[in-house]
Chain A
């Protein structure tokens, strides 16, 4: 069992620019209204698998603990189910802030971001090519990228889907793929953060 940890973080050690980054996303400034009630942590279906609960992560954001937050397993445990956001009495867009933390960690190539980054990259590659997600190709790419040997363990799942016609080879494609790619390029240019 973990003992009680006492951490005192004095103001001069805080990275307050971090808070500004969070304010930068639409609705991000609502984090100012957090009353640390813990409804998010109590509602989260996966808080048991996190290192820091969502409530604690929000306290850490406001204390400017940038590295600790972006290196936390918590952000990679969030399944984006929106239960916290649904229940937050202060209407903070918790799930969207979690998404933002994921983006920052991926951009900075934080160690724990790599698996989710691999999945997102495979997904983006497939969609950039066809405009649609071909699930068979996504699963194959992701398995090869993250765990070529371990993917043998996934094979029964793949085979059971395949044998029931649920993992087709090939698939459909967006007709105006050029137009879609232009939208994607422009969005990436404007996306920022």
Chain B
């Protein structure tokens, strides 16, 4: 299995342990991720506030690079925002000729052309749908027995441009966690927004959203929350101290990527998976299954 891989900007920085665990897990499963040569930022939500056409151009340049690289037409990313921007761009280019025309003209300035047809997948989809849960199970060396995990999908991957799953009660990550031997907890907020970039512009709103999420997961007796997006991870992890201070709470819930849990179950080393990079300590979870 070979895919073009779009890491996105966060996986070099705040989401470093996501990138590390993705590579470790892919290697263990024999999935080849070829980094898209010379990829650029997807524009996140910031560019949509500035110029819509420009935002589409950024993703279209990345999509154009996929065809050039000759690794097939499937592009894998693991950040919910990158995923949504890439998928949304594909939909808009198909649906609106005036957008296609403008984007085409802009790409031509750099002698680039996007012919269409790239399929962007989330890494979670690759593991569940392409690799398949049977093969995941076959790779489990240390089942995560007894680990209660709150699966947190975040917002954008289950929305209009997202994965084929129930938008209100997606089960893809739940089934994945089960395959690892963990117990996914039932809780009401698995697709509730974490606030995203509001943490920068309206902090009090984002803090409360994250507080509610943590509370809901804690009430479900989760040992940790599993995430699939670097912004969700940062908001819930790096701001947990601020949440406790603001609301007089006492949360100490590790926020781990689904790929880190997979790596542990596959018998990989804790530091290969960047477990030490979590701010709310996650190393005890690693130690439990080492």
- Is there contact, CB below 8 Å, between B159 and A120? no
In the complex, chain B residues whose CB is within 8 Å of the CB of A79: 155, 193, 195-198, 205-206, 209
Q: Provided the pairs A166-B13, A183-B107 are in contact, do residues A174 and B38 lie with their beta carbons within 8 angstroms? A: yes
Task: Report the Cα distance A179→B111, complex, angstroms.
Answer: 8
Nearest CB in chain B: distance from A156 CB, A: 7
Closest residue on chain B to residue A133 by CB atoms: B9
The SS class assigned to the A binding surface is helix
Q: B130 contacts the other chain (Cβ, under 8 Å)?
A: no
Pair A174/B40 contact, Cβ less than 8 Å? yes
B250 to chain A, nearest CB (A): 17
Cβ proximity bits B180-205 to A, threshold 8 Å, 1 near / 0 not: 00000000000111011110111011
Name the A residues within 8 Å of B43 (CB-CB).
127
- A87 (CB) vs chain B CBs: closest residue: B167
> Are B14 and A135 touching (Cβ within 8 A)?
yes
- CA gap between A45 and B193 in the complex, in Å: 7
Contacting residues, chain A, for B206 (C-beta < 8 A): 79
- Assuming the contacts A82-B159, A85-B160, asked whether A186 and B47 have C-beta atoms less than 8 A apart, the reply is no
| Residue in B closest to A171 when the chains form the complex, CB atoms | B12
Min CB gap B200→A, angstroms: 5
Query: Which of the 9-residue segments A4-12, A33-41, A56-64, A99-107 touches chain B?
Result: A99-107
| Cβ–Cβ contact B38 & A165, under 8 A | no
Residues B106 and A157 in contact, CB atoms below 8 Å apart: no
Q: Tell me which residues across on chain A come within 8 A of B16, comparing CB atoms.
A: 165-166, 168
Interface contact B109-A175, CB-CB below 8 Å? no
Set of chain B residues within 8 Å of A183, measured between Cβ atoms: 57, 61, 106-107, 109-110, 112
- The verdict on A180 contacting chain B, using a C-beta distance below 8 Å, is yes
Docked pose: A38 CA to B49 CA in angstroms: 25
Given contacts A26-B99, A135-B9, whether A106 and B49 have CB atoms under 8 Å apart is yes
Asked if A115 lies at the interface with its beta carbon under 8 angstroms from chain B, I say yes
Q: Which of B236-280 contact A (CB under 8 A)?
A: 238-239, 241-242, 276-279
Query: Is B41 engaged at the interface, CB distance under 8 Å to the other chain?
Result: yes
Task: Give chain B's interface residue range (CB within 8 Å of chain A).
Answer: 35 or more
Is there contact, CB below 8 Å, between A45 and B192? Answer: yes
Residues in B with CB closer than 8 Å to A188 are 51, 54
Q: Which residue of A lies closest to B38 (CB)?
A: A175
Docked pose: A124 CA to B191 CA in angstroms: 29
Whether, in the assembled complex, A117 has its beta carbon less than 8 Å from a beta carbon of chain B, the answer is yes
> Once the chains are docked, how many angstroms separate the CA of A94 from the CA of B16?
33
* Cα distance A127–B45 in the bound complex, in angstroms: 13
**A68 lies within 8 A of chain B by Cβ:** no
Q: Does B32 contact A (CB under 8 A)?
A: no
- Determine if A82 and B109 form an interchain contact, defined as CB atoms under 8 angstroms apart: no
Smallest Cβ-Cβ distance to A106: which chain B residue: B49
Pairwise interchain contact A132-B9, C-beta atoms closer than 8 A: yes
- Interface residue? B156 (CB, 8 A): yes
Query: Within 8 Å CB of A106, what residues of B?
Result: 49-50
The interface residues of chain A lying within 8 Å CB-to-CB of B71 are: none
Are the C-beta atoms of B47 and A193 separated by less than 8 Å? no
Stretch at the interface among B90-98, B134-142, B144-152, B220-228: B90-98
Cα of A166 to Cα of B233 in the assembled complex, Å = 12
Q: Is B169 an interface residue (CB 8 A)?
A: no
Interface residues of A, Cβ cutoff 8 Å to B: 25-27, 45-46, 49, 76-77, 79-83, 85-87, 96, 99-100, 102-103, 106, 115-117, 119-120, 123-124, 127, 131-136, 142, 156-157, 160-161, 164-168, 171-172, 174-176, 178-180, 182-188, 190-193
Instruction: Supply 20 further A-B pairs (C-beta < 8 A) apart from A83-B159, A160-B279.
Output: A26-B92, A27-B96, A81-B156, A81-B193, A102-B49, A115-B201, A120-B49, A133-B41, A133-B44, A135-B9, A160-B238, A161-B14, A165-B277, A167-B14, A168-B12, A179-B111, A183-B110, A183-B112, A187-B106, A191-B51
